[in-house]
């Protein structure tokens, strides 16, 4: 085995494999940093280029790119409050508040350091665990996958500060949204409203970008502030301090590496919840919880360690059993077959040196990617101090194009803008958004697991399985401690707000609660007429969600009455709704112009006009900005990625 380890290392550092590895790293840094792009998109684009490569070079190219996407995705998560990839959602909670406090460089220093450590240790765990993980993986059946999904939702819902009810409500709403389209069992269309676009379900990327990106961009536009809320001279915390934070929290880094590696092994589930499990762990295991959700560096260290360590763990079921744990791993499985390699015993015996070459690729790529980002981080962190109007047009371009890549349909932009409005109102109402996304991601996995479990077991006997029973105890304890902690800390500075404002607008919260209640009642009605295997699970989801919506409405009404009794304003954000609607109208204008002239005209035109009207910039600067935007769109999205542009009436 030791000989296979050394052979794998030699094959990776030899030419041309090492050259392909570095090229993959450079590409991966870009795909991770741009919201909407991801390791999955990169794997799909790069796979055809590996057909004529030797196996080690091919995997060095693919995995070099894939390994660093969860390192560079920190850039968007910290600076913009936008998850660069699905694995960096939890990083937003403390990373973005750190940028608002002028500590973006500190967040980068900590994140890139632990990303390298987590990636290297995760790769080592991959190598060490191959002989012993088979019993662990095979012990998880469908009941355990369902229960793990419930645990993930309970954990993220419980981190919702004063209102656990709001967190759990939005988690259940995410599950309801995941039921849109053809049902997994029975192939019956649900909640599609006659729109063929919805038959395949709501696409994830436009939903995430709408919930997280547009609300932050909107605030930058209407308040005309920089990302940082403090002046640059008064900002504290640089790159060196962040690196020091990583080493001072070495025990947390080790714990989250183990969490990331072993949760990542769970096929189809690990990558969806690993950052939330790590974030929940650091919150629950910390004595001082007062700064979580407000810029605590530990809230960056935990998920960034775990989501990089997860890559090594995710490869184990793919290589050892031919079970791809995610869409990215399915592409890697295809690459294995293209190279004439069979996952399973072959990869652990006669081809063990290739397996270890993948381990070395992950380790080297994580170190190289982290070092490159550290070199650039101080310069990138300066974006936090740039005037907001100069950032908004470029971010909007990436957000629109990131959404467009989901399906190359105008419906993607409709979803983006719709959830942008919903996300803005949820943020202002203090309703946490992360649980909704996690529920949406886990919905199909949990529905399929529960359906199979229900047909394989009599009643609830599956809950008596040792693994299921253990997870159930963890769920009960998570909710109990969350409710108890919220009761003790009610309305104190120690509350964790999941990135939402500490002081929520109770009127907006009440309005959103009523809207959610109406949607849930309408969603419940058709479940009665659907076949049992199609309608039972949505019905089981919606019933408790309605009860939680009523509770949120009651809590919001009480908050309004308290504000009035105290002589305060129960609707403090009314003045922002007009400018917010104005900005949304501009974004709708992008859609209208796209129908007429295409994206290559609409987006650069928006960028230039925004700077002229909103930013009050000089005409030549606005023109140059728009031309630069057009050039980037043409080179990156037309020539390199080769997207299918929307057919316009005039030009394209």
Tens of pLDDT, residue by residue over 459-480, are: 778 888 888 888 888 888 877 7
What percentage of the chain exceeds 70 in pLDDT? 82
Give the whole-angstrom CA distance, residue 478 versus residue 590: 44
* DSSP count for the chain of H helices, then E strands: 28, 2
Residue where a domain terminates, one of 454, 488, 504: 504
Q: What is the mean pLDDT of residues 130-154?
A: 71
For residue 183, the model assigns a pLDDT of 85
For residue 227, the model assigns a pLDDT of 63
Q: For residue 652, is it within any domain?
A: no
Q: For residue 549, is it within any domain?
A: yes
Q: For residue 362, is it within any domain?
A: yes
Top-ranked range on mean pLDDT: pick from 185-199, 278-292, 372-386: 185-199
For residue 177, the model assigns a pLDDT of 93
Instruction: Indicate the SS3 state at residue 190.
Output: strand
Say whether both 433 and 581 belong to one domain: no
| CA dist list (Å): 193 to 113, 183, 443, 537 | 48, 14, 20, 20
How is residue 168 written in tokens? 């759990």
Say whether both 405 and 470 belong to one domain: yes
pLDDT at residue 291 greater than cutoff 60: yes
What lies within 8 Å, CB to CB, of 62 at 6+ separation is: 24, 43, 46, 47, 50, 331, 332, 335
Say whether both 492 and 511 belong to one domain: no
- What value does the CA radius of gyration of the chain take, rounded to a whole number of Å? 24
Q: For residue 536, is it within any domain?
A: no
Domain count, the chain: 3
CB 95 within 8 A of CB 376: no
Q: What is the mean pLDDT of the chain?
A: 79
- 479-503: per-residue pLDDT in tens? 777 666 666 655 444 455 554 555 5
Question: How many CA atoms are closer than 13 Å to the CA of 137, on its beta-carbon side?
Answer: 28
Say whether both 457 and 550 belong to one domain: no
Say whether both 450 and 592 belong to one domain: no
pLDDT band for position 553 (50/70/90)? very high
Q: Is the peptide bond before 455 cis (omega within 30 degrees of 0)?
A: no
For residue 605, the model assigns a pLDDT of 94
Give the whole-angstrom CA distance, residue 472 versus residue 541: 18
pTM given for the model:
0.76
For residue 345, the model assigns a pLDDT of 64
Q: For residue 648, is it within any domain?
A: no
Give the whole-angstrom CA distance, residue 292 versus residue 100: 14
Give the whole-angstrom CA distance, residue 248 versus residue 242: 10
Range of the domain at 485: 2-504
Say whether both 483 and 468 belong to one domain: yes
Q: Of 8-22, 411-425, 485-499, give the lowest mean pLDDT range.
A: 485-499
Q: For residue 187, is it within any domain?
A: yes
Q: What is the mean pLDDT of residues 620-649?
A: 87
Q: For residue 650, is it within any domain?
A: no
Dihedral sign computed on CA atoms, order 497, 500, 503, 504: negative
Q: Of 127-141, 330-344, 355-369, give the lowest mean pLDDT range.
A: 127-141
- 513-539: per-residue pLDDT in tens? 999 999 999 999 998 888 877 888 899
Say whether both 549 and 471 belong to one domain: no
Say whether both 419 and 553 belong to one domain: no
Helix (H) / strand (E) containing 45: helix 39-46
Top-ranked range on mean pLDDT: pick from 237-251, 398-412, 607-621: 607-621
Say whether both 526 and 469 belong to one domain: no
Top-ranked range on mean pLDDT: pick from 227-231, 281-285, 532-536, 590-594: 590-594
What lies within 8 Å, CB to CB, of 338 at 6+ separation is: 47, 50, 51
Say whether both 312 and 405 belong to one domain: yes
Q: For residue 596, is it within any domain?
A: yes
Say whether both 603 and 494 belong to one domain: no
Say whether both 427 and 325 belong to one domain: yes
């Amino acid at each position: 085995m030791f000989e296979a380890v050394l052979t794998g290392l030699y094959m990776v550092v030899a030419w041309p494999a090492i050259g392909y590895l570095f090229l993959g790293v450079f590409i991966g840094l870009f795909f991770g940093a741009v919201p909407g792009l991801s390791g999955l998109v990169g794997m799909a684009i790069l796979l055809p280029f590996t057909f004529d490569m030797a196996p080690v070079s091919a995997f060095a190219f693919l995995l070099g790119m894939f390994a660093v996407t969860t390192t560079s995705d920190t850039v968007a998560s910290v600076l913009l409050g936008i998850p660069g990839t699905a694995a960096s959602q939890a990083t937003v909670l403390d990373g973005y508040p750190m940028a608002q406090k002028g500590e973006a460089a500190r967040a980068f220093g900590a994140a890139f350091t632990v990303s390298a450590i987590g990636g290297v240790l995760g790769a080592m765990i991959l190598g060490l665990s191959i002989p012993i993980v088979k019993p662990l993986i095979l012990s998880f059946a469908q009941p355990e996958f369902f229960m793990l999904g419930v645990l993930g939702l309970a954990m993220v819902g419980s981190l919702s500060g004063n209102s656990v009810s709001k967190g759990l409500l939005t988690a259940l709403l995410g599950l309801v949204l995941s039921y849109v389209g053809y049902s997994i069992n029975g192939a019956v269309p649900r909640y599609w409203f006659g729109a063929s676009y919805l038959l395949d379900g709501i696409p994830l990327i436009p939903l995430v970008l709408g919930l997280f990106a547009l609300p932050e961009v909107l605030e930058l536009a209407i308040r005309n502030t920089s990302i940082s809320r403090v002046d640059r001279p008064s900002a504290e915390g640089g790159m060196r301090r962040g690196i020091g934070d990583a080493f001072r929290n070495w025990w947390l880094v080790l714990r989250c590496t183990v969490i990331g590696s072993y949760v990542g092994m769970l096929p189809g589930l690990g990558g969806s919840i690993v950052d939330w499990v790590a974030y929940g762990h650091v919150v629950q295991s910390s004595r001082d919880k007062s700064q979580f959700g407000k810029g605590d560096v530990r809230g960056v260290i935990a998920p960034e360690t775990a989501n990089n360590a997860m890559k090594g763990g995710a490869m184990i079921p793919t290589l050892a059993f031919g079970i791809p744990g995610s869409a990215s791993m399915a592409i890697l499985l295809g690459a294995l077959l293209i190279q004439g390699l069979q996952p399973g015993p072959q990869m652990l015996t006669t081809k063990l040196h290739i397996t270890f070459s993948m381990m070395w690729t992950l380790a080297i790529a994580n170190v190289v990617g982290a070092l490159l980002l550290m070199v650039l981080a101080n310069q990138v962190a300066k974006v936090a101090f740039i005037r907001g109007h100069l950032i908004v047009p470029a971010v909007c371009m990436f957000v629109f194009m990131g959404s467009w890549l989901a399906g190359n349909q105008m419906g993607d932009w409709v979803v983006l803008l719709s959830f942008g409005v919903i996300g803005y109102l949820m943020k202002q109402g203090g309703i946490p958004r992360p649980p909704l996304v996690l529920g949406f991601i886990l919905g199909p996995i949990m529905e399929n697991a529960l359906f199979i479990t229900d047909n394989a077991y009599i009643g609830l006997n599956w809950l008596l399985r040792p693994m299921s029973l253990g997870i159930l105890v963890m769920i009960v304890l998570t909710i109990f401690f969350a409710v108890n902690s919220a009761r003790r800390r009610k309305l104190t500075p120690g509350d964790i707000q999941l990135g939402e404002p500490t002081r929520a607008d109770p009127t907006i919260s009440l309005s959103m609660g009523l809207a959610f209640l109406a949607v849930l009642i309408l969603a419940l009605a058709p479940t009665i007429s659907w076949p049992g295997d199609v309608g039972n699970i949505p019905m089981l989801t919606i019933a408790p969600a309605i009860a939680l919506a009523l509770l949120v409405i009651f809590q919001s009404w009480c908050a309004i009455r308290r504000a009035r009794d105290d002589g305060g304003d129960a609707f403090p954000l009314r003045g922002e709704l007009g400018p917010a609607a104005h900005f949304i109208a501009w974004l709708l204008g992008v859609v209208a112009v796209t129908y007429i002239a295409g994206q290559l005209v609409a987006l650069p035109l928006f960028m230039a006009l925004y700077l002229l009207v909103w930013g009050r910039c000089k005409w030549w600067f606005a023109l140059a900005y728009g031309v630069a935007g057009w050039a980037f769109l043409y080179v990156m999205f037309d020539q390199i990625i080769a997207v299918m542009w929307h057919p316009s009436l005039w030009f394209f």
